[in-house]
Chain A
């Protein structure tokens, strides 16, 4: 399975440790919130909010270098617009891997 990485963050920061610390802190703060919003929308089967939550999470997925994960999220977002949730389990795995990864940053 694809694993998150810091490639984009490193390219962006180019050794600017202060900025990297700031960026990582913001990601660590925002990601759990975004996942929470996603989970709440999922439980309430609110497809509109669910699609918005997935859309927002796509940015974090790509920041953490998950190219396949991004493609899956995009597919899942489209699926949600059709009120389908077949990819939810795969999406949850992506969220879990990101959650674990940011703990290491």
Chain B
């Protein structure tokens, strides 16, 4: 996990940094004595975890969380237990450490953060359906779950580690695989016609030789998939 430490107190930064150095795989990328510098850093860098002091002059930790876009996991560090209730109003806050931080408590917080990162990664690679009967698919793009109506999808194309989902109104690039989305889409409407394409059969305009025209896209149909496609068509 890549992390940064934000605390106006050098002693506190040093202690957190020491705890981090004792944990394999936890790398402190930068330390900041104020939130503004950290914000500038986060505009250009991605981190998995922030150790954030609440009490800082001028711009405090809660202001910081409210200001940054898509905050990563945050572990609050403070001398004030009174902030605990407010802290859990924010989804990004995974734990809350009272200073001075002990090794045992630190490790517990890291476990929570680590689990949270794993869940986030899983969400990023998985596409989830809310309810198959709703015909709705949620895709994770830039940490946002975006709703797509499945009937509006006419084509899904594999693009390396990503897939492009084309709908009537918009195209989406999602970090996932064709196999995963194929499993989520209803069989009676969608068909894999080529190793790189899944199409919505109901949106086909015409078929010529080994290609289908779907909207304005001409999609190749592999030899092995052609008979399956032909069976699905209501041929006269």
Contacts and interface: CB of A to CB of B under 8 A. Distances in A.
B14 A26 contact: yes
Interface residues of B, number: 15
Contacts, number: 43
Interface in B1-51: 9-12, 14-15, 18
B107 interface: no
A101 interface: no
A62 B79 CA distance: 9
B171 interface: no
Given A12-B103, A19-B18, A59-B79, A52 B57 contact: yes
B102 interface: yes
A8 B100 contact: yes
B15 A56 contact: no
User: Of residues B9, B10, B80, B100, which shows the largest number of chain A Cβ atoms within 10 Å of its Cβ?
Assistant: B100
Nearest to A51: B55
Interface string A41-84: 00000000000100110111011000000000000000000000
Interface of B: 9-12, 14-15, 18, 55, 57, 79-80, 99-100, 102-103
Top-5 shortest CB links A-B: A58-B79, A59-B99, A63-B100, A26-B10, A62-B100
